Amino acid sequence: AQSVTQLGSHVSVSEGALVLLRCNYSSSVPPYLFWYVQYPNQGLQLLLKYTSAATLVKGINGFEAEFKKSETSFHLTKPSAHMSDAAEYFCAVREYGGSQGNLIFGKGTKLSVKP
């Protein structure tokens, strides 16, 4: 069965510092991987996705993630944090079989950005 593990339920960085949010997945088949972000009082918004093309994926708002098969990881990074990046971030893997589309999420990581 597929699963997603996000290390760290809370991450705090200073404005301008590197953002690194960790995600490890478990899948017996090549996965489709996603990062979503949820700002307060809003729905989940897709940041970026990996669908078996380039292993380094660039998303919106300066975020990127690298798919590393050997490490079963898909960590999210941003070189310089901005106050507006404060939100909750979710890593997800698309489930194979079944209805072909439902997502399996990690528990989420809340990012705080200090001035």
Partner 1 sequence: EAGVTQFPSHSVIEKGQTVTLRCDPISGHDNLYWYRRVMGKEIKFLLHFVKESKQDESGMPNNRFLAERTGGTYSTLKVQPAELEDSGVYFCASSHTAGDYEQYFGPGTRLTVT
Query: Nearest distance from residue 47's CB to partner 1, in Å?
Result: 11
CB atoms within 10 A of CB 64: 16
Q: What x/- string results for residues 8 through 47 when contact with partner 1 is judged by CB under 8 A?
A: ------------------------x-x-x----xxxxxx-
Which residue lies nearer to partner 1 by CB, 19 or 91? 91
d(CA 75, CA 68): 9
- Residue 53 as a binder of partner 1 (CB under 8 A): the answer is no
Which residue lies nearer to partner 1 by CB, 32 or 86? 32
Q: Residue 52, Cα to own-chain centre: how many angstroms?
A: 16
d(CA 35, CA 105): 9
